[in-house]
Structure 1
Amino acid sequence: MTTSPQLPAHLTTRPLRPEDSRPVFELIAAQEREDTGRVDIEEADLVSDWSRPSHDLATRSIAVLDGDRIVAYGELVGADRAAAAVHPEWRGRGIGTWIAGWIRETARRRGSSVVGMPAFVGSPGDRLLSVLGYHVRWNSWVLELPEGEEVPARELPPGYAIREAGQADLRAMHDVLEDAFLEWSVRARESFEDFTASVLGRPGFEPWNLRVVTDTTGEVVGAAVVMLADGTAYVDRLATRADQRNRGIARALLVDAFAQGRAHGATVSELSTDSRSGALGLYEKVGMVVTSNYVNRAIHL
């Protein structure tokens, strides 16, 4: 690859490769630690995302290198979603601006009319995107159930059951999750192949990570994906089929997810939500507290 004239002269660029997951994780972790005082990213998040058949690192990502060291990166995750990070030691040199430009151009070439990315509220990345003309699309929050706290339980309707998902449940589980999230999320429908690759292929995956609620006929009417890392159980996705809502199914799934996490060694439980879903108040009412606040900033192309 040639050196970009807009970057410091000795830096080079190339697409990311699957084996870059560790250095990119360390890069993002350094940025999160600087901006928020905590690290939410896991290397498994990157491995999981990059394993999706629809995601092509060769054409959708860029690494900025000082010699062999990755000091910044950017990638176009979907039609209008991007991710980027610059190591705190390398801020203030125009690298973030260059990556934002690369992402916009990559999105344009793929026919996107808008592209955006998350940034911690008030962080250098948030301020940079604001200066570059990015508007706030939505807010998102990471919430934690403090150690020792429990979500108040609620009984399922008679004849309903909650259990570990089996192989035969995966398509129904995927449909419940996608149908629910697409009620408020404007994006292309995730393919079943992307779902299974990113969930079943995630490092550390265990069958108990997938939970479902079934009705009296055995149909899947609720689903949750629970991840475990470093003593934290993280509810990655949770949804109830539209015709089955307001019956306690989501609450039961949440209680079950946190209980399963504790049974497998978790001391803290977390999840994230954003302003499009309108669920923040519901999670706060069951005792969860906000630990991080992000904005998703976007720009029209």
Structure 2
Amino acid sequence: MTLPAGLTQRPLTLADAAAVAAIMAAEELRDTGEAGIEEADLVADWQRPSFDITDRTVGVLDGDRLVAYAELAGQDRAAAAVDPAHHGRGIGTHLAGWLQERARAAGSGVVGMPVPQGSPGDRLLEALGFRVRWTSWVLALPAGKVIEPQPMPDGYRLREATGADHRAAWTVIEDAFLEWSVRERQPFADFAAQVLGRPGFAPWNLRVAVGPDGEVVGAVVVFLAGELGYVDKVAVHRDRRGLGLARALLADAFAQARAHGATRSELSTDSRTGALGLYERVGMEVTSVWLNRAIDVAG
């Protein structure tokens, strides 16, 4: 795991978020034709109370310019990117090794990361012995396409979340995601940092479905990135499914994004959720396919 000659490395800080976002965007643009990452996404993730940015990140520099990065974002969840202008120098191989060492030190038996299917990163990880854990899809609502509002069941309504709803929204989202995601429950403080504390957060970014008794039974998180409305999370309580609430939340989120300046809308899902068909039925189209590649690291 030797760093290529002429390069140095150091832990990252929040001040590096813009440079890292630019590297990630350059790779995404080259691999998929579009870039969806924003500096605010990184700041929101890195400011989580549970995340030690000094211990869990590394930046690779050529002189004083950041040209690559990697982070162990969770127990077995990682991300990395290399400026396309610096591909072929062995940086990606170095970062893959660094991530395996950090995951092993953190007590994880496996570490994985998403890469666009067929991209240089995908081919590199496959050559290094990383297997496919699951497939993810980015879907977009075509320009001019509108998801017709879903009628709400009697007594149910959609609205902005208030401060009193925040913990209930977190609970609904975590309960739903933990049905298929093998991980520890995310602390509320981390949810608050990623959503409520995300730079530029506005109340309309967190919407809830409320039942006849006033209970929060569904939630959706939607952000605006330039002219892109991105649905980050959507969830409905298990015992309220089949009522059309997920589709109602989705249509509402896209409408809210349009009302705030979005000209197109996007989200992602993966093969663990079984939700791909739902999004295709409302008119969304797959724009890119990603693979989560992982490798065992137990010592």
- Out of 258, 276, 282, the position equivalent to 1:280 is 276
Query: Secondary structure of 1:153's match?
Result: coil
- Out of 89, 104, 120, the position equivalent to 1:108 is 104
- Alignment partner, residue 157 of structure 2: 161
Query: Secondary structure of 2:189's match?
Result: helix
Q: Deviations over 1:213-263 (max 9, x none)?
A: 111110000000010111111110000000000001111101110111111
Provide the C-alpha distance between the structure 2 equivalents of 1:170 and 1:149, rounded to a whole number of angstroms: 31
- Alignment partner, residue 52 of structure 1: 48
- Alignment partner, residue 292 of structure 2: 296
**Residue type of the partner of 2:176?**
A
Provide the C-alpha distance between the structure 2 equivalents of 1:232 and 1:40, rounded to a whole number of angstroms: 8
Q: Deviations over 1:30-89 (max 9, x none)?
A: 111111121111111101101100111100011010111011111100000000011111
**Residue type of the partner of 1:185?**
S
Query: Secondary structure of 1:212's match?
Result: strand
Provide the C-alpha distance between the structure 1 equivalents of 2:158 and 2:148, rounded to a whole number of angstroms: 16
The answer to whether the aligner puts 1:270 opposite 2:231 as a matched pair is no
- Out of 22, 26, 33, the position equivalent to 2:29 is 33
Identity value in percent = 63
Provide the C-alpha distance between the structure 1 equivalents of 2:232 and 2:4, rounded to a whole number of angstroms: 38
Query: Secondary structure of 2:176's match?
Result: helix
Which 4+ residue blocks in structure 1 deviate beyond 2 angstroms? none
**Residue type of the partner of 2:158?**
I
Cα RMSD after superposing both structures: 0.9
- Alignment partner, residue 192 of structure 1: 188
Provide the C-alpha distance between the structure 2 equivalents of 1:255 and 1:38, rounded to a whole number of angstroms: 23
**Residue type of the partner of 1:26?**
A
Provide the C-alpha distance between the structure 2 equivalents of 1:229 and 1:133, rounded to a whole number of angstroms: 35
The answer to whether the aligner puts 1:65 opposite 2:57 as a matched pair is no
Provide the C-alpha distance between the structure 2 equivalents of 1:109 and 1:276, rounded to a whole number of angstroms: 27
Query: What TM-score, normalized to structure 2?
Result: 0.98
TM superposition shift of 1:94: 1.0
The answer to whether the aligner puts 1:136 opposite 2:138 as a matched pair is no
TM superposition shift of 1:144: 0.6
Query: Secondary structure of 2:212's match?
Result: coil
Query: Secondary structure of 2:54's match?
Result: helix
Query: Secondary structure of 1:197's match?
Result: helix
Provide the C-alpha distance between the structure 2 equivalents of 1:31 and 1:146, rounded to a whole number of angstroms: 23
Is 2:76–2:103's contact at 8 Å kept on the other side of the alignment? Answer: yes
**Residue type of the partner of 1:242?**
R
Equivalenced residue count is 297
Is 2:149–2:252's contact at 8 Å kept on the other side of the alignment? Answer: no
Q: Deviations over 1:163-221 (max 9, x none)?
A: 00000000000000000001001111110000001111111110111100111110000
**Residue type of the partner of 1:271?**
L
- Out of 219, 232, 240, the position equivalent to 1:236 is 232
Provide the C-alpha distance between the structure 2 equivalents of 1:74 and 1:241, rounded to a whole number of angstroms: 35
| 74-83 vs 33-42, which moves further | 33-42
Query: Secondary structure of 1:52's match?
Result: coil
- Alignment partner, residue 177 of structure 1: 173
- Out of 108, 122, 125, the position equivalent to 2:121 is 125
Provide the C-alpha distance between the structure 2 equivalents of 1:233 and 1:37, rounded to a whole number of angstroms: 18
Provide the C-alpha distance between the structure 2 equivalents of 1:162 and 1:211, rounded to a whole number of angstroms: 7
TM superposition shift of 1:113: 0.3
- Out of 79, 92, 99, the position equivalent to 1:96 is 92
TM superposition shift of 1:155: 1.2
Query: Secondary structure of 1:28's match?
Result: helix
Runs (5+) with no aligned partner, structure 2 = none
The answer to whether the aligner puts 1:257 opposite 2:257 as a matched pair is no
TM superposition shift of 1:154: 2.1
**Residue type of the partner of 2:72?**
L
| 26-35 vs 215-224, which moves further | 26-35
**Residue type of the partner of 1:28?**
M
Query: What TM-score, normalized to structure 1?
Result: 0.97
TM superposition shift of 1:143: 0.6
